[in-house]
Amino acid sequence: MAANIEFHANIKATDNQTQIQHGAGSGLGFYGSTFSSAIAIGSVNQTTFVTNATGTNQGTQLHNTAYANASADSPGSSTDASESFVKVDAAVSNINLRDLPNYKCPLNIRLLSDDGTAVQVRNCKLTIYDKTNIANHASGVTTYVCEARHPHTVEGSAGQYALAHVSSRSDPSHFTWHMFQNGGGNGIEMPLTDSPGISGFNTNGGDITHLSGLSASEQSSFSQGSTHTSTRHDWFIAISSSPDTIGSKQDYALYFEAEYL
């Protein structure tokens, strides 16, 4: 039994069109108002594209999820007034991170079982590093990352916010940015949700809000929490970049790991 990890530009197209060829140096690039335009020091990206290793080749433009502000409180004790926020594309207003739909994230990380065996995944982690050693932060840039757990077509629709099954660093009522920063931030590893399932739809059995519209068989399949098994698991990642120094940041990469059984 083996599994592959793929990185996809999160757009509505076929897998061949969306898969990012990271082995060939492709990845995400973060820019100012247009492709190749600079981001001012201390500001955040206004656009996100698929690009090459040097950031000079313009590929598909993706949803842009810009860091808006940090949370004023700890997970589990928040109010709407003190939630962490994100600005999506050119929206006038920021939204709470818990309201961010999966489909508006620029990056989809996918684990696929090679032989069709349904697998459980755990100890899922994401790291932003210097492209040399995953223990080293990227230099000269601060990165904000959040895993969306909101498989809905509308932002915060009808009280349907984040799923109840989330990572160890999140709370369904309170999502925060994980800050990757050289000499500071929230640590070199960011936990992601165990066994999110296909399209990130798996939740807990008590998540009545999200399960109520499903058939009995679907409710059984997508309410297993961290014990859920599937031939495919999807994580949806909001990511924002802010330069600390002048110049293009090319020693800058994302690393993902997970155990499957």
In the prediction, which pLDDT does 162 show? 80
Distance of CA 68 to the CA centre of its chain: 16
Mean pLDDT in order along the chain per 10 residues (261 residues):
90 70 92 98 97 96 91 49 81 88 96 95 98 96 95 71 81 83 90 96 84 79 93 98 96 97 92
In the prediction, which pLDDT does 54 show? 94
In sequence order, what are the residues at sequence separation of 6 or more whose Cβ sits closer than 8 angstroms to the Cβ of residue 261?
A: 119, 120, 122
147-177: pLDDT as tens digits: 999 988 888 665 566 888 888 777 777 788 9
Measure Cα distances from 245 to 29, 34, 232 in Å.
17, 20, 39
In the prediction, which pLDDT does 44 show? 97
Domain interval for residue 81: 3-260
Q: Which residues of 32-55 are buried (b: 16+ CB within 10 A; e: fewer)?
A: eeebeeebeeeebbbbbbbbebeb
Rounded CA-CA distance 136/250 in Å is 14
User: Total domain count for the chain?
Assistant: 1
Rounded CA-CA distance 33/260 in Å is 40
Bridge-partner residues for 30, per DSSP? 48
The answer to whether residues 47 and 61 touch, using CB atoms and an 8 Å cutoff, is: yes
C-alpha dihedral, 60 to 86 to 141 to 180, nearest 10°: -110
Indicate whether this model's pTM tops 0.85.
yes
